[in-house]
Structure 1
Amino acid sequence: MVKQNQSGRKDTGMRVGFIGLGNVGAKLAGSLIRNGFDVMVRDTDEAAAKSLLEGGARWAESGRALAEACDVIVTCLPSPKVSAQVLEEKDGVLDGITPGKIWLEMSTTEAADVQRLGAQVEARGGIAMDSPVSGGCHRASTGNIAIFAGGRREAFEKVLPLLTTMGRQVVHTGKLGSASVLKVITNYLAGVQLLSTGEAFMVARKAGVDLAVAYHAIRVSSGNSFVHETEGQLILNGSYNINFTMDHEVKDVTLFDDLGKSFGVPLELSPVCVAAMNDGLKRYGPRVWSSQVVKRLEDDCGMDLRAPGFPEYLVDHEPEGKGAEVVVEHRRGYE
């Protein structure tokens, strides 16, 4: 049973450090704080931590200080390069790793890189896991996002109370790096679905079909997807505000393309997806919302994809609830 102390914090026996307070990271850290965990935070922009500090989090002056003070060190950063820097720099996380500490990499990164950094963590007696999330910022806000977790089973069971607080469905994917592979795969699928959703809407519009009708017809059909139900609404509103930027979209689909090519897979759709995302970045810039890649079609066709009644941004209306591990039947093993 998890007890609460007089400060309202949960007595889990784990002090949690969280580095990276961007669109997703701040929301994940917020779920831990909201649910009473003892949390220390760090970001290159201290202003990003303001609401978390007001909510009870403590500030760390360096990665090393955070790692020394905490039992679990979470990183949620924009690229493999930044993750490596945060761990390996002077007074970085690695300098504070001692036996028994757990590094939880929640960034979207390369399996090879998380394995390389994980080896350095384990050389110091620590434990490494990769635990990226999937499902959008709106579900990160409510603790209802999905989480993949790769690493040793005993480590997974130790951090499961944290994972089921930050997320609703948690999948233990296998060895270290397996979660990062699956995250890259799901992000690629979402990218393809985003492009196909835009094309479907444009063909419907050109054919004279009401786009609100098209949206709901697709939603109840075999053509439905998570992306259609979420980003599809933001396209029809015109805000495109998915809280995820074009440069990160390009990074993610490129990670998949590079991974597939490294295994000799004769990819066909992936290069098309990468080229379309790069064209969107070239036309509209790196910091526009990734959904705006669909604007390429609007500009090329001289026709918008607007429909009344769709939201400017997404809100998760599902009540926050305790997460649980997704039990995978017939799996061959955890490693």
Structure 2
Amino acid sequence: MSTVCLLGVGRMGGPMCGNLVRAGHEVRAFDVLPERREAVLSSGAQWPGSAVAAARGADVLLTVLPGPAEVAEAIDDSVLEALAPGAVWIDMSSNTPSAAAPCRERAAAHGVGFLEAPIGGSPGDAAAGRLRLFVGGEAALLDRHRTVLSAVADRVTHLGGFGTGYTAKLLVNLLWFGQAAATAEALLLGDRAGIDLGVLTEVLAESPASTAFIRRDLPALLAGDYLASFGLDHIRDQLAAVTALAAQFGTPHAIADTVRRLHEEALEHYGPADGELLAVALLEAKAGTLLRHPVQPPV
């Protein structure tokens, strides 16, 4: 069992904290929001009061933070120096290859190994230990720490070297947000053309056009849930990172640019609100129509 320093105990890190404790690891957690202390203590983890105190003597450092800026702010030399000799830093945040590169180099300068393992899944998946991890880094280092990762995830995929895990997560997000927008446009058009939304969604779910979004996430939208589990500003940043990567590698990205611009417009309209489907809300506003389950008339 490992001594784990967990930095970030919000929607995802909070449930993960409890799972790590139940798996038998000694967990020392910290978050910049002090109101999260009681939930950490009630899960059986320790709250030492600072990131440095939480890291002192730990052999695994986990960061579960919203994005690159939060990771860079949370981890400085004093945190890395406090870790046990031969420790590993596993960044599970929604980071980017370019932003994480200096973090990895700083870790190496302190003799700390580094793995990227951004998370796929919802807070409910985190509570159930059903997360998916997209891992980039040395395979041998991953193998040595699978016990820790298996406490929070049931699918751990090694993508390759540094940058591949972050990139895979960004691509998954690009396609999901793109599918959500394309599905919303199709439903708005179908509704305007007089097709019953219930019938249309059933047709799409059983057709070659079906996606995981249609089968799993569309019911939430049709119930009026815009999935307030991630900030629109962070979504915009991730989509911008995808188009920057495409420009760097010289691959076409016209569709990715369209998805990015839509979310930038939604951010301008709604501000940095939580809502993974707020771009769909913007499309609804433009159409003057809400995509909702049809209300059955009274008998």
When normalised by structure 2's length, the TM-score is 0.92
AA partner of residue 60 (structure 1): P
Q: Are 1:127 and 2:119 an aligned pair?
A: no
The TM-score, its normalising length taken from structure 1, stands at 0.83
State the partner residue of 2:138: 152
Q: Which amino acid aligns with 2:190?
A: A
Asked if the contact 2:120–2:131 (Cα under 8 Å) also holds between the matched residues in 1, the reply is yes
Structure 2 unaligned runs (5+)? none
Write the letter of the residue equivalent to 1:300. Answer: K
**CA drift at 1:308:** 5.4
Q: Give yes or no for contact 2:59–2:83 (8 Å, CA) kept in 1.
A: no
Say whether residues 1:304 and 2:290 are aligned partners. yes
C-alpha separation in 2, matches of 1:206 and 1:83 = 45
- For residue 33 of structure 1, the aligned residue among 21, 38, 60 is 21
Cα deviation for residue 43 of structure 1 reads 0.3
Out of 173, 184, 202, which is 1:187 matched to? Answer: 173
In structure 1, distance between residues paired with 2:125 and 2:228: 12
Taking the aligned partners of 2:211 and 2:27, their CA distance within structure 1 comes to: 35
Q: Which has the higher contact order (CA 8 A, sep 6+)?
A: 1
Matches within 5 A, 1:226-241: 226-241=212-227
In structure 1, how many angstroms separate the alpha carbons of the residues matched to 2:99 and 2:48?
25
- Count matched residues: 295
2:86 aligned residue: 100
Query: Quick one: distance in 1 between partners of 2:272 and 2:202?
Result: 31
Q: CA deviation at 1:261?
A: 1.2
Matched with 1:61 is 49
Aligned counterparts of 1:27 and 1:145: Cα–Cα separation in 2:
11
1:22 is matched with 10
Aligned ranges 1:1-335 → 2 under 5 Å: 12=1, 14-88=2-76, 91=78, 93-307=79-293
Aligned residues of 1:191 and 1:253 also touching (Cα < 8 A): no
Identity %, equivalent residues:
27
Secondary structure of 1:244's counterpart equals coil
What displacement does 1:242 show?
A: 4.4
Task: Flag the 1:182–1:298 CA change in 2: closer, same or farther, 3 A.
Answer: same
User: Could you tell me which residue of structure 2 aligns to residue 313 of structure 1?
Assistant: none
Residue 49 and residue 260 in structure 1: after superposition, are their counterparts in 2 closer, same or farther (change >3 A)? farther
